[in-house]
Structure 1
């Protein structure tokens, strides 16, 4: 079986985040099962030639052209990719498009329909009803067509399925299947005993980590605003802010830390490659992702895969799993509200040695038992076989 994964963008610093990482993870999992999975995408930010392989996955990357800068990722394309798209699509048994309203994935999905290839769409929580005129025009010109005529539409949560189906309502969307995100299983942590006990009068320096795009939707300000609460109990604690900077927001976060009088305790380390992300996760004590909306964060799964307790928000797709397993703490997050104290108190709870031990083990076991890429790839392989047979 030959599968083509189409995603919008890959950069050396993983600026596009989740969809590209999911496409790579799925491709690796499928290849381990003997499936010839490859990826096509735009490439940007590379100094030399675009790579032909990414994380062990064959990749056909085309230099991104920023034709509509106002629309950011949705406004980039490549005439060369679009010229080759029909040939690439025809070479595959299944075309798996990580769909958004853009100038790459939507055209590839439309071409797959024209070529009669089995088409699987994965929306990553990016497709829902909108009041934006340009997006509504995109829906009329092609998005609704692919959502109705695809062989399968994958969703992470029931809410995502309902939101995507609402785009084509009152007409019916293509058959929907749930597919969670998965990550590579990691060996059990060398020690699950948590932060060391403090002797009387002794201080310790835990590390609290944020690894995600630094953008408003991820609420890094709640990570920074949590610092005073944690530092009041652990004055030597260190906070690491990592991830691609969106709109120079990292500088604003460092300024906020200075205004709160805690600038000395935070470091912004920029974008990290995948190996660096795992290294940071292994060396941290608590992972924090205070997003207002987060369909199914791969970074949270990767944190838990190394036994790192997490603090996530109730609106995230993984929040029920984290809460049920005891793999961390779930907090409220309200737009326009400072949620820093809530996040800080949750971090303090997880820095308690006994609580940390329990959450660390629960986090590692949760990923091992339910969110490994092998299990997810097995489910996806079955979906492919089903749509090929039905097609």
Structure 2
């Protein structure tokens, strides 16, 4: 089976995040099962020629062009990709588009729909009702038509499914099925701090941007260091909008600048290495539908602290694989996704009142998980949770079954 996965963007610093990682993970697992799966997207930020494979997965990368300034990834396109899209779509048995309101995935999805190709859409929480004029225009110009006409929609959570249904209303969207994200099962848990030695390490691994709320974690640092004076806080990920500089300045004001370490963007091996050397993973984001970074942390037995708006929160809570803190106040409707420049970003600068309040909640959760007995119990639970429910092999098996359903219905 020839499967073409289409996603918005790829770069060396992995700044687009989850959807690209999901597409690569799924293609790798599909190829291991015998399918011919590849990723189609734009490439940006590479020093030389665009790569032809990423993490062992064939990729068809085309040079990115920033067509609409100020719209983030929603304004990125590639004339050469769009020119080749027709032939690539026709040659695939299944076209699987990780759809956003952008100028890469939407045109390819529309081409597949108009060409009568079997079309599967996965929205990752990026399509929901909006009052933003540009997004509403995109819906009117064809996003709604693509959602209604696809052979199958894949949702991560009920909120994801209901958001798409609200956009397509009053007409029902295509048949919808749940497909969770998955990661490679890790045979060995990370070593405990007693085994590893050194100070406690708290890890934030995501884009450094307001929607992920790294400032909330910074606000937690003084309370954590009051109990663990040598605790270190590692922040890894691509820096957007000068976030690292603002955090550094605020850390100096709080007198905890020596506690911070900025590790920058990481490849997959670097991600796992950081997670194996940490004691607690923290993702205080405004909203994340089903973050792969949190799954990666859990897979190595790293307890996670997430907000209640995180799509993985119910699983973390049920499995006792970490802690869930109250949802962030004041940011309703902001997706926190890299495509979100279509919508206004919230004011989450270091030092605002919401940040300070959230910092206190995070500090309490982190301190609980730094206790050796609590950390060990959560680590065992986290490792088991991924092994039992979120391995990429099991997710790919389900996806292959869904593809078979699409092909049968399409025929």
Same fold (TM over 0.5): yes
Question: What residue in structure 2 maps to residue 200 of structure 1?
Answer: none
Question: Shift of the alpha carbon at 1:114?
Answer: 1.5
Query: What whole-Å deviation, never above 9, does each CA across 1:151-201 have from its counterpart, x for those lacking one?
Result: 00110000110011100111111000100000011112264xx4339xxxx
Q: Quote the offset at 1:353 in angstroms.
A: 0.7
Distance 1:278 1:13 in 2: 15
TM-score, length basis structure 2:
0.92
Q: Normalising to structure 1: TM-score of the pair?
A: 0.96
Alpha-carbon distance in 1 for matches of 2:137, 2:244: 34
Determine helix, strand or coil for the equivalent of 1:51: coil
SS in 2 for 1:148: helix
State how far apart, in whole Å, the 1-side matches of 2:59 and 2:31 are: 13
Q: Is the 8 A contact 2:190 2:302 kept in 1?
A: no
- In the alignment, the residues of structure 2 paired with residue 183 and residue 217 of structure 1 have an alpha-carbon distance, to the nearest angstrom, of 24
Q: SS in structure 2 opposite 1:341?
A: helix
Q: Name structure 1 gaps, 5 residues minimum.
A: 198-202
Runs of 4+ in 1 over 6 A off after TM superposition: none
State the match for 1:170 in structure 2.
170
Q: Please, what is the CA RMSD of the aligned residues?
A: 1.2
Q: Secondary structure of 2:113's partner?
A: helix
Matched, 1:226 2:224: no
Report SS of the residue matched to 2:324: strand
1:181 aligns with 2:181: yes
Q: What secondary structure is seen at the aligned counterpart in 2 of 1:10?
A: coil
Q: 1:316 aligns with which of 310, 318, 323?
A: 310
Q: Are 2:297 and 2:303, in contact at CA under 8 Å, matched by a contact in 1?
A: yes
Q: How does 1:178-327 map to 2 (within 5 A)?
A: 178-189=178-189, 191=191, 194-196=192-194, 205-327=199-321
Q: 1:7-156 alignment to 2 at 5 Å? A: 7-156=7-156
Q: How far 1:204 sits from its partner (Å)?
A: 5.9
Count of aligned residue pairs for this structure pair: 384
The SS at the match of 1:120 is strand
Q: What CA distance in whole angstroms lies between the structure 1 residues aligned with 2:78 and 2:288?
A: 29
Task: Determine if the alignment matches structure 1 residue 329 to structure 2 residue 323.
Answer: yes
Cα distance in structure 2, aligned partners of 1:330 and 1:68: 38
Taking the aligned partners of 1:209 and 1:366, their CA distance within structure 2 comes to: 20
Give 3-state SS (helix, strand or coil) of 2:70's partner.
Answer: helix
* Structure-2 separation of matches of 1:190 and 1:43: 33
Q: In 2, distance between residues paired with 1:71 and 1:319? A: 30
